[in-house]
Chain A
Amino acid sequence: MKRLDAIVIGAGHNGLTNAAYLAKAGLDVLVVEKNDYIGGAAVSRELEPGWTYSNCSYVCSMMRQAIHRDLDLARHGLLLVPYLGTVNFGDGDERLIAYHDEQAAYLELRRHSPHDADAMHRFQADLTRYSQLIRKTLLRTPPEPTSFRPRDIREFLWLAKKFWALGEKELYEYVRFFTISAADFLDDYFENELIKGAMASPGIIGTALGVYSPGSAYILLHHVMGDVDGNIGAWGLARGGMGAISQAIASAFEAYGGEIRTEAGVDRVVVKNGKATGVVLDNGDELSARIVVSNLDARRTFTRIIDKDDLPDGIYEKAKYFKIRGSSGKVNLALSGLPKFTGLPANRYIDRGGQAFTGSLETMERAYDCWKRGRWSDDPFIESVIPSAWDPTVAPPGKHWMSNFIQYCPPALADGPWTPDKRDAFSRTVIDKIERYSPGFSDLIVHMEVRTPHEIENEIGLTEGNIFQGELTIDQLFFNRPFPGYGQYRMPLKNLYMCGSSTHPGGGVSAACGANAAREILKDLRRPNTVPEDDFYDE
């Protein structure tokens, strides 16, 4: 049996990134993927002829520019297109348009509240300050707090220097920021409910927290710290859908000589004498490798594909209680035309952005209440985008597709398991809500793909359908991710690594987890590093 240098389990974007950097270093790398397509949650599939959905993730802003540049993903076909602002729909007729143009955005805020329009400057300055610090850590391995190795001490000193540069007052604010709720954070700046709702919505996306839950302020930051071409907070679409990101990385990986095997689910990781030595595929084939890298989430890695008896004490339990609660659903719609929304000016650029059906903080909190009771929200928060208004490649001319991301949708329902009927009822709730803002909307629907946490878990393997591979709360962030003591991509078994969003810096299509893991692996294998540092100078 040929012994590979590395097997990467799961062809999501982080697995592919990890594999690409290992292959770039000259290693013999195989990526195994259970599905017959690659991409994991950064995937584009044509389910209705002519329409290409971004089935799971739908926009991106965290994609590390340094990786995009270093792997020459443009040459491999990737084009990220930033989009113009988002329209926030209030509970009633109120609309807040987040224009891309600064002056236009200011005037729009003033229309709702002169106070908030001015407060926005302080809000943006504070948020930028917080996000810049975290951005600097994205393409770095977290230091291990209990280790006294020189590299960890050096990294802590580096961090301390960055923190100290904030100034004393901001240092306290920063620590506070990690523990408060999005609503509390926003109350310090804004008075208008629609503006607060709009600004709070990134704080709940993908997480089983409400806008009033402690910790949601950080999630908010996690969603606005990305950038497109240096415009912090900007969001972009991948031309051809989010799958184009995975395809481009896969193409770079293959150009370095790597191989991807699809329809090759892993039954278990082979462990001998406390070391990972390979994998056994679902079809019984056994593959051997010097190292095994799991791009699966922490729960799945340690409770599904590794025998409990092969693990050191306590790891199975850590994985079992790893917070990875599903909270969101997705409704992808093929439309026969561009939907028209009420209460908006006839501005031809407005559909070149997103739609956020936010309502007020209270609406969002009520939506969360449903989740707590094991129901999908009856008045959900929906974040939508119509990629076809931008991307000529994803729908026939004149036709469109709309991505709708829904909070909240529980992985398990109080009244028993998910059924096709319940899934349909869930999608009706979503469409009815959009219809409230766009009369005649449902008549446009040509095809629909509905994804509750149940589908997300079963199709692409995210436990409970949690889009981040684990909650982004402080107990599971940075050197605590996925577990305290395992924040540097090396797992409790020798030669076993993790490279997915369950590791630092967490969820989002950033490619950072995979790249960081590759850097650590190459260090262990005594190979020269191939992973770039973030290429922005001190901002």
Chain B
Amino acid sequence: MNSPPDAHPFAGEQPKLSPFHPRQAALNLRDAWGVWNGYKFADCYYDAEYEYFCIRNQCGTYDICPMQKYEIAGPDAEAMLDRMVTRNVAKLGPDRVCYTVWCTDEGRIIDDGTIFRLADDRFMLTCGSPSTAWLEKSTYGFADVTVKDISDTLAALSLQGPTSCAVLKAMGLAGIEEARAFDIRYFPFADNTLMVSRTGFTGDLGYELWVRRELALELRDAVYAAGSDYGIQPYGETATNMARLEAGFIMPALDFNEALKTVHFKHDQTPFELQLGWLVDFDKPHFSGRRALLEEKSRGPEWTLARLDIEGNWPAEGAIIYDTERCRQEIGYVTSAMWSPAVKANIALAMIRTKFLDGEIWAEIYKAKELRQYRRMARCTLRTKPFWMPARARATPPADF
């Protein structure tokens, strides 16, 4: 279909605007925009480091409208999801959310995301990448289930940080402090309903707010009015990426390669390789990838995504991992790395051949100093726990700061 003649000649190739865009554009003082799933999306608004610290010290909002959201409904919805994902959806209680992955028959991860149980026969599934095709394929054999892409009709704002609960209380959301991690609560809002889930991607105390697209600005204004005394600040992709790495959360196209987009054999990953074996429930009926995953579980994963604490302060981005300081054998590669300002550690996620995890681990790091390249071998220490895991993230009720 041709565009109307008066439309912008390049309208077809310009990114879409989030319903929060008018407010966010006014605050994007650095004009630092990228694109996510076709939406114009902020890398940062004012200062990425400041925004990161708002997440750790006060609170910030992150526009998750570009995240994909699907409503999966019907009497067979639960069975269909259980057939698709690795976790046991039947065990997901009402008004609860769970994190899960879904795999190919070969047990390779297609994507990760969250499932919200909105009713007995109605769910919302969120994920990073558009997944309509896979979801529809997954409905084969289920008579009574519908999949609806609600990404563009449901607005969502993530509110994260130690003062986030105080902000919601100041907004008048009575009883929000009683919500436990992964709980869903509903509140009347503008003659409609505001859904709040205690979820997020920062490893800190935080919530995600969901309303009809038309109410997006009204919601945002209410959150910002309540948040003005609590240090509220929008944050973009850069700050999110820092926070999620400290929390040990994985990102598609960084720490794992989506199976359906993977060209090279085994350049995608299994849940066990990502240390997400706890998401795989072999006790439930058959699901995609079950056989392959059972086999992998008994054999042990070939690779393991490890958390590394690296000596020195050179971020190990893109570093190759070796078994000795003298680089006798290449044993893996860093997938994400940064200097963690909160923990004061040089942290990384790295995919390492499992059999080498018991030995020494060395990262070969390059860094430019005034154009000249320098190289260091840095000793790495394995960490079992996330680098950032404050008690407040799970405390119920949470404190005000």
A352: interface (CB < 8 Å): yes
A230 B339 Cβ-Cβ under 8 A? yes
A451: interface (CB < 8 Å): no
Smallest beta-carbon distance A119→chain B, Å:
20
A392 B341 Cβ-Cβ under 8 A? no
Measured between beta carbons, the chain B residues less than 8 angstroms from A81 are: 53, 56-57
B76: interface (CB < 8 Å): no
Measured between beta carbons, the chain A residues less than 8 angstroms from B313 are: 65, 230, 535-537
Encode A432-467 as 1/0 by CB contact (under 8 A) with B: 000000000000000000000000000000000000
Among candidates A65, A100, A391, A537, residue contacting B376 with C-beta atoms closer than 8 Å: A537
B343: interface (CB < 8 Å): yes
A537 B339 Cβ-Cβ under 8 A? no
B118: interface (CB < 8 Å): no
Interface size class of A (residues with CB under 8 A): 20 to 34
A239 B57 Cβ-Cβ under 8 A? yes
A124: interface (CB < 8 Å): no
Q: Which of B86-136 contact A (CB under 8 A)?
A: none
Q: Which of A386-425 contact B (CB under 8 A)?
A: 390-393, 397-398
Report the separation of the CA atoms of residues A421 and B312 in the bound assembly, to the nearest whole angstrom: 53
Report the separation of the CA atoms of residues A535 and B312 in the bound assembly, to the nearest whole angstrom: 5
Measured between beta carbons, the chain A residues less than 8 angstroms from B345 are: 69, 74
Smallest beta-carbon distance B226→chain A, Å:
10
A84 B50 Cβ-Cβ under 8 A? yes
B57 A391 Cβ-Cβ under 8 A? yes
Report the separation of the CA atoms of residues A79 and B163 in the bound assembly, to the nearest whole angstrom: 15
Task: Decide yes or no: A392 and B312 within 8 Å by CB, A100-B47, A101-B47 being known contacts.
Answer: no
Report the separation of the CA atoms of residues A80 and B343 in the bound assembly, to the nearest whole angstrom: 10
B230 A74 Cβ-Cβ under 8 A? no
Measured between beta carbons, the chain B residues less than 8 angstroms from A228 are: 341
Smallest beta-carbon distance B55→chain A, Å:
11
B339 A79 Cβ-Cβ under 8 A? no
Report the separation of the CA atoms of residues A535 and B339 in the bound assembly, to the nearest whole angstrom: 12
A222: interface (CB < 8 Å): no
Measured between beta carbons, the chain B residues less than 8 angstroms from A230 are: 313, 339
B314 A537 Cβ-Cβ under 8 A? yes
A68: interface (CB < 8 Å): yes
Encode A64-87 as 1/0 by CB contact (under 8 A) with B: 010011000110000111101000
Task: Decide yes or no: A397 and B166 within 8 Å by CB, A74-B344, A392-B401, A535-B311 being known contacts.
Answer: yes
Q: Which of B344-384 contact A (CB under 8 A)?
A: 344-345, 369, 376
Measured between beta carbons, the chain B residues less than 8 angstroms from A239 are: 57
Measured between beta carbons, the chain A residues less than 8 angstroms from B344 are: 65, 68-69, 73-74, 229
B58 A74 Cβ-Cβ under 8 A? no
A148: interface (CB < 8 Å): no
Smallest beta-carbon distance A512→chain B, Å:
15
Task: Decide yes or no: A100 and B342 within 8 Å by CB, A390-B57, A398-B229, A535-B313 being known contacts.
Answer: no
B57 A79 Cβ-Cβ under 8 A? yes
A349: interface (CB < 8 Å): yes
Q: Which residue of chain B has its CB nearest to the CB of A398? A: B229
Q: Which of A82, A228, A352, A397: most chain B Cβ within 10 A?
A: A397
Q: Which residue of chain B has its CB nearest to the CB of A349? A: B46
Q: Which of B238-265 contact A (CB under 8 A)?
A: none
Report the separation of the CA atoms of residues A397 and B229 in the bound assembly, to the nearest whole angstrom: 5
Measured between beta carbons, the chain A residues less than 8 angstroms from B162 are: 392
Report the separation of the CA atoms of residues A416 and B56 in the bound assembly, to the nearest whole angstrom: 49
A82 B49 Cβ-Cβ under 8 A? yes
B312 A79 Cβ-Cβ under 8 A? no
A229 B341 Cβ-Cβ under 8 A? yes
Q: Which residue of chain A has its CB nearest to the CB of B387? A: A74
B148: interface (CB < 8 Å): no
Q: Which of B38-76 contact A (CB under 8 A)?
A: 46-47, 49-50, 53, 56-58
Report the separation of the CA atoms of residues A79 and B369 in the bound assembly, to the nearest whole angstrom: 29
B401 A393 Cβ-Cβ under 8 A? yes
Measured between beta carbons, the chain A residues less than 8 angstroms from B166 are: 392, 397
B267: interface (CB < 8 Å): no
B50 A100 Cβ-Cβ under 8 A? yes
Smallest beta-carbon distance B376→chain A, Å:
6
Measured between beta carbons, the chain A residues less than 8 angstroms from B318 are: none
Q: Which residue of chain B has its CB nearest to the CB of A228? A: B341
Report the separation of the CA atoms of residues A421 and B345 in the bound assembly, to the nearest whole angstrom: 50
Q: Which of A220-253 contact B (CB under 8 A)?
A: 228-230, 239
Smallest beta-carbon distance B163→chain A, Å:
5
Q: Which residue of chain B has its CB nearest to the CB of A229? A: B341
Measured between beta carbons, the chain A residues less than 8 angstroms from B386 are: none
Q: Which of A73, A100, A229: most chain B Cβ within 10 A?
A: A229
Measured between beta carbons, the chain B residues less than 8 angstroms from A535 are: 311-313
Report the separation of the CA atoms of residues A228 and B311 in the bound assembly, to the nearest whole angstrom: 18
B291: interface (CB < 8 Å): no
Measured between beta carbons, the chain A residues less than 8 angstroms from B400 are: 392
Measured between beta carbons, the chain A residues less than 8 angstroms from B230 are: 392, 397
B231: interface (CB < 8 Å): yes
Encode B168-198 as 1/0 by CB contact (under 8 A) with A: 0010000000000000000000000000000
Task: Decide yes or no: A536 and B47 within 8 Å by CB, A79-B56, A101-B30 being known contacts.
Answer: no
List, sorted by A's number, 15 A–B pairs whose CB atoms are closer than 8 Å. A73-B344, A74-B344, A81-B57, A82-B49, A229-B344, A392-B162, A392-B231, A397-B170, A535-B312, A535-B313, A536-B312, A537-B312, A537-B313, A537-B314, A537-B376
- With A74-B342, A392-B231 already in contact, 8 other A-B pairs whose C-beta atoms are closer than 8 Å: A74-B345, A82-B49, A229-B344, A390-B58, A392-B230, A397-B230, A535-B311, A535-B313
**Chain A residues close to B by CB (< 8 Å):** 65, 68-69, 73-74, 79-82, 84, 100-101, 228-230, 239, 349, 352, 390-393, 397-398, 535-537, 539
For the complex of A and B, 10 pairs with smallest distance between CB atoms: A397-B229, A392-B401, A398-B229, A69-B344, A68-B344, A229-B341, A74-B343, A81-B53, A392-B163, A393-B401
